Amino acid sequence: MAKSVTLYGTSTCPYCAMTKNFLKEHNVPFEDVDVGQNRTALEEMMKKSGQMSVPVIDIDGKIVLGFDKKALSQELGL
């Protein structure tokens, strides 16, 4: 069963772009949430992660901070 993946990021964040590319390369469907445009999503991201920095990736409730290939691969079972 596919995991639920939400990527909280901004349109200007290079690490967010790298994370998106990584997920696409591995055919992982994800919800792309731009916290630069969406104040509610920013608050939701901060509540989940305790962080203001992006990207924050929520994989079935597990939080991965930043573009961390090893952590992403582990959580996604790649």
Q: What is the pLDDT of residues 19-38, one digit of tens each?
A: 999 999 999 999 999 999 99
Q: Which band of pLDDT confidence, cut at 50, 70 and 90, is reported for residue 16?
A: very high
Q: What is the pLDDT of residues 39-62, one digit of tens each?
A: 999 999 999 999 999 999 999 999
In CATH, what number is assigned to the domain containing residue 24? 3.40.30.10
User: pTM higher than 0.85 for the full model?
Assistant: yes
pLDDT of amino acid 37: 94
* Total tally of structural domains belonging to the chain: 1
pLDDT of amino acid 67: 97
| Residue 30 belongs to domain spanning | 5-76
SS3 for 5-68 is EEEEECCCCHHHHHHHHHHHHCCCCCEEEECCCCHHHHHHHHHHHCCCCCCEEEECCEEEECCC
- What's at 21, amino acid-wise? N
